[in-house]
Structure 1
Amino acid sequence: MRILFVGDDWLGSNARSFAEGFRRLGHEVIVVDSTPVTLPPRLSPSWSYAKTGERRAPWTVDRVHTRLERAAAELHPDLVFGFKSVFLDQRRLLEIPAALHVHYSPDDVSNPANTTADYLAHESEWDMVVTTKRHNLPELAGRGVSRTLFVRSAYDPAWHHPAARRGTRQFLVGFIGACRPDRRPGMVSLARTYGSQLLVRGPGWRRVRQLQTTRAAVAGPVYGEDFAIAVASVTANLVLLNSENRDTHTCRTFEVPASGGLFVGERTDEHADLLDDETEAFLFSSRDELDEILERCASYPDQAAKTAEAGYRRIVEGGHTYTDRAKEILRALE
């Protein structure tokens, strides 16, 4: 197939990994980067415009669409694939000549933060809407979408693989992910308990003043292979969910064990289905249960390493790469 793919194409992005998944299956893929629209440079005119509401700067939107339309004129695509392309002009996307138009959302499509009025007005015109949230399927059908597909999140073996440590320091527990209101109190509490044994990395954490009064190591985000390097420095890697997306699994569900890290995550049916508790991962439902797990990891590091290895095998042998997800989508389109 000839696939015209539009998504945020920065190094380490999930969209880039998905495009490469289609390419690895042997399809011709042209990627048009939507980052200037979705994540305009801080303090730029486009960034200032986006701060006024849900719409993005018309001049950046037009530039991305111009690149899309020029690429389509040369490629003559069979499939237009939009990776969370809600901030683009939906009418212009759907009018690109192609047999199929598919929209993919890695997040909850019923969360207003992941949609726009323009996207919702045209959502039912996409030939297929793909979501990583099973609970979205009846909601999409109720909004008039005739063809939906649930696929799980994934990992990219180009980035997510066991990596050598870059220092001798080993943290007992760590979390790599964005600072969110529902995560902040728990992370501050962990920092006060575990101090220098805790690593926290991700956007926004360095602005949390309560963390600065602890001995926890707090740093910015890591992407691409740097994620796997950070995982290697942590014994127990926390997998926390986004309550606003009603997550029951997330990208980290696959990325942490694929990077060789010990999965210590919130107990959900999907997590329990993907990884066997106690032998391939450790699941918790309360802070007391998490503390007990961390005490075991500290007391029996060899057992923690054995569990991490089993989790790694379960994920990498289970068909959870972006190539596998691309295959699922194309199979559904057939």
Structure 2
Amino acid sequence: MKTVFSDLQLSHSPKHEISDGELKPAVEIPSRAEIVLKTVQERGVGDVVSPETFGARPVRRIHAPDYVDFLESFWGHWSGAGRKGEAFPFVWPIRSLRPDPAPAHIDGLLGRYSMDAGTPIGEHTYSAATASAHTALTAAKLVHEGERSAFGLCRPPGHHAGIDFFGGYCFFNNAAIAAQWLRDHGATRVAILDVDYHHGNGTQAIFYERSDILFLSIHADPTQEYPYFLGHADETGEHAGTGFTRNWPLPIGTTWEKYSEVLDDASRWLLVYRPDYLIVSLGLDCFEHDPISGFRFKSDDFFWLGQRLSYVGVPTVFLMEGGYAVDALGTNCVNVLEGFEGG
């Protein structure tokens, strides 16, 4: 299995995040990708290739033009206003407040285009997010051209990013961008299976009214976990997309034994849908020692996860999402890939 990765993805290097009411050291850091890349190479998973350049169109097929323009120009406005260091939003246009017209002030724009205060923007965030999207696109292209599978070592991750907002460490929705690219290049149906501990709210919202992209997510109960406001079992799609979204919210403390039963159910949905391609939003934060998660996977369980995914029997694109226990992240990720390859 080929792995796609660009060093540009390491340039987004946040120092802090706001969580639990405190300013804390960031957990979505470059070493996450570095340890995965090192383990891929040490265990001989396959060749590591650089991403191709796809231009702006694939990203703008998913994300609103004004949002993309905001990310691209943000650092110039931020530094031009005399700001130093990482940028955090602190006000949002919720409920009775108006999102339009767009504020002229940089702090208003930050709030308009964000969903949380825990995802700082830095000088190189836009270039890293763009490289991450192109990594996903290259992995999709490899599978489109005949590979059984490919791994996009994406960082920053993507599944919390919506059409016009960032959050949850995510800026461009890599899985959505790759899925749309596959549709634009001849696929009739694409399925996205999100196995991150946290619900992929951005991906769900992007495709919620569409039947050509099936979205399935297994995650922690949003009444207890981020993103809190999406990912409930009664969210099944709307209009043309009715029935093409399915969520399995699980209690904190879930082990592989319980999770695997739900994964079997999700796999049955995939077998019925019969997608041309499967995209796996590969969050690795179900691990028992993950610092911001609450499931109880052991490292060996990720091998069984990969093996189960191979049973679906369709060309598969793996795109890295979360996972913050850095020391074990490479092992857990490669266990999935090897489990899939041997399954």
> TM-score of the superposition, structure 1-length normalised?
0.32
Q: Relative to total residues, which structure has the larger helix share, 1 or 2?
A: 1
| Larger RCO of the pair (alpha carbons < 8 Å, separation 6+) | 2
> TM-score of the superposition, structure 2-length normalised?
0.31
